[in-house]
Structure 1
Amino acid sequence: MAYLTASERRTAIVKAAARVIIRDGLAAATTRRIADEAGVNLAALHYSFDGKGEIYTAVDDMFRATTVGSRLVPTTGWTRQEIIRSLLERFQDLLHADRDVPIAQYELLLWALRNPDKAELARASYTTYISAFADELRHATDIAGSDATLLARYTIGAIDGIYMQNLATGATGVSAPELDAISSAIVGIIDSIHPPH
């Protein structure tokens, strides 16, 4: 393998770990498997990372950065419902692209929840999505009086539910009319909690 800087080696290890987790599952992502996949020896891996936990955290960070950075269309001037629908559709498209990626993300989330010293990772996962989606929603033409953070939280709840159902049942997603109905319902729920003024 060609010489890699410390930063390049870390990146190679994180990408290799992601491939192993996506392909074989979190339980299979031992440091030896990750090192083999990255083409580095175990000593180099342990020099770069302080164990599997640090690698898993870096993989989760990479997944979130990729997902949050996957904005497909500009949303400035859209209604709340249009932005929520686009978020639901974006995640449905990501699921279609590779169903093993969301499975890997959920495995990492459950791992973090089962490890008290990694609770911050689980919290950060949702905080990142909520913040990013709330920022998008603040561009809505009809946002006045609405809580963008609450809209984002409910949208993520819908995304999680749709994701899990699709993964469990092998479904290909929800139809356009269903996306319209779900996004409309989310806006309706928020407006019933905090009526716009």
Structure 2
Amino acid sequence: MAAKDRREELIAAGFRVMIRDGVAKATTRAIVNEAKMPLGVFHYCFNSREELLQEVLTRFTDSTMATARRTFEGEGDLGTRITRSLSAFWGTVELSPGEHQVSYELTHYALRQAGLEDLARRQYQHYREVHEELLEEVAEDADIEWAVPVPVLARYLNAVLDGVTLSWLVDHDGENSRAVLRLTGEHLLTLARERTRPAAQQAPVS
């Protein structure tokens, strides 16, 4: 098996172990046992366990946001597409709660472990970067601009999705969770405005 394929197998095995047993028990040995590989293979593919954890977080975030992005690219006005994108995100939560639980567990684990704090910082930096990218794509595609700076809006959106997901993992109140997402979509629409164009591009006054 090529090194790239072994790496992919180890990432998938790491995710399975964390979903089943928790992050603390996802040791290097547990991961290679899950992947049915010798221990030496792990150190050939990764510099450290933390590198694998970061890769798991990155893959998880990219996969979730790719689903939301694909649904936004369909037909419909801005409101319809925002609603569809948020609904697609929520679908990943309800279909794969274990994966989302692992993402929170990884955050708290990293913050509790001396020397791993940067893992949590990189995790949330990646979340915000992905949200910024999606918001900028939305604005470009719909020919609008946001009334607040995109980094602020990305942090706001991340905080809402983070909070509603964690709340649902606790109480599984899907009805009110979806209502929160509808409210979020409505609020985002109030922050979208017609794009300001340079004076040279504006129609002349007759």
Q: 1:106 to 1:173 in 2, by over 3 A?
A: farther
Residue 110 of structure 1 aligns with which residue? Answer: 108
More relative contact order, 1 or 2 (CA 8 Å, 6+ apart):
1
Q: How many residues align?
A: 188
Q: 1:40 matched to which residue of 2?
A: 37
Counterpart-to-counterpart distance in 1, 2:73 and 2:102: 29
Q: Runs of 4+ in structure 1 displaced over 6 angstroms?
A: none
What one-letter code is carried by the residue in structure 2 that aligns with 1:159?
A: L
Structure 2: runs of 5 or more not aligned:
197-206
Matched, 1:65 2:50: no
Q: Give the drift of 1:38.
A: 0.6
- Residue 44 of structure 1 deviates from its aligned partner by 1.9
> Residue type matched to 1:54 in 2?
E
Matched residue type, 1:182: T
**Counterpart for residue 164 of structure 1:** 166
Q: How does 1:7-26 map to 2 (within 5 A)?
A: 7-26=4-23
Q: Is the 8 A contact 1:17 1:34 kept in 2?
A: yes
> Secondary structure of the residue that 1:117 maps to in structure 2?
coil
Aligned-partner Cα distance in 2 for 1:147–1:15: 36
Contact 2:24 2:109 in 1 (8 A): no
- Counterpart Cα distance in 2 of 1:177 and 1:110: 28
Amino acid in structure 1 at the alignment position of 2:38: N
Residues 19 and 102, structure 2, Cα contact 8 Å, conserved in 1: yes
Deviation string, structure 1 residues 27-46 (Cα, Å, up to 9, x no partner):
22122221111110112223
User: Does the residue aligned with 1:27 lie in a helix, a strand or coil?
Assistant: coil
Q: Percent identity?
A: 28
Root mean square deviation of aligned Cα: 2.8
Task: Name stretches of at least 5 consecutive residues in structure 1 with no aligned partner.
Answer: none
SS at match of 1:72: helix
TM-score normalised to the size of structure 1? 0.79
Any idea what SS the aligned residue of 2:72 has?
coil
The one-letter amino acid paired with 1:55 is L
From 102, 118, 121, the equivalent of 2:119 is: 121
C-alpha distance in 2 between matches for 1:62 and 1:125? 11
* Whole-Å separation in 1 of the counterparts to 2:32 and 2:17: 10
